[in-house]
Amino acid sequence: MPNLKEVRNRITSVNSTKQITSAMKMVSAAKLRRAQDAVVQMRPYAEKLQEILSNVSASLDLSEGVFSAPREVKNVLIVAITSNRGLCGAFNNNVLKNVNKLIADDYKGKNVKVLGLGKKSFEFYGRTGQHVSTPGLSEKPYEIFDKLTFQNASNIAQVIMDEYLAFNFDEVVLVYNSFKNAASQIIKTEQFLPMVPAEGNSTSNVDYIFEPTKEEIISGLLPKSLKLQLFKGLLDSFAAEHGARMTAMHKATDNASELLKNLKLSYNKARQAAITNEILEIVGGAEALKN
């Protein structure tokens, strides 16, 4: 039978943990709402920009562009987007596993570097010596999540594009959690550079008037589209993080409630057994005095 004091201490400890997880769940729910609104508001613009880019580039050979020309892949950069904090279930581990799988399978034998946008991936690949270090990047690139704006995302995207144009990397890939709903996140692996040619252009009958030339418009749209692609990945990951944390904290709170129920039952049984033993001792002593 467990000691009553030990059970009481465990009940106090689990109850404190339950209050913390419940509070974290509510905080994540509030942050998730704002992050979800940001993703939903940005998607129509991203989709329209991609539609215009597809229509305008229908008559151009994008394989000759600086951001879309195919290369022999020798040096690869993987942008691993994770969170800065834990307590969000398998959110970060899923990204790290996918990145490691890419390195071991798809890019086996190639020179692979990882850019960790998120403290968890930054520290993990920093320990393995695979984290990329470039002059244009901050020493702590994961701090972008402290103030997630399009301008900050554009700065990082510009550094990546500059490294690509300098032939330091032949291919750039994004790996992140895409937000589906509060309880579900989908791991996505997207090719960032070189840009994949748009599909389905023949279905569009939109007639545009170009000013200046079509080529100049394309050269301006491609960098903007790349910056938007990175910003979208960051927003998706940010919303997915809070969804994952809210779900994890909800499960933790439920588990704490179940554990409290079992501990209180054990406490009551131990307490009842102690009372029964005391009664038996009293009765036994009374009988002995009587005899």
Catalytic residue among 7, 81, 88, 103: 88
54: CB partners within 8 A, 6+ apart: 198, 199, 200, 201, 204
Contact in structure between 226 and 161 (CB atoms under 8 Å) = yes
Of 205, 199, 194, residue with least CA distance to 167: 194
How many angstroms separate the CA atoms of 214 and 210, rounded?
Answer: 6
**CB under 8 Å to 207, separation ≥6 — which residues?**
none
What tokens were used for 30?
């509030």
Listed residue (145, 15, 163) closest to 82, CA to CA: 145
Strands 171-181 and 111-117: unpaired
Look up 11 and say whether it is catalytic.
no
Q: Which two tokens stand for residue 244?
A: 């994952």
Residue 193 CA to residue 22 CA, distance in Å, equals: 42
Show which residues are catalytic.
Answer: 88
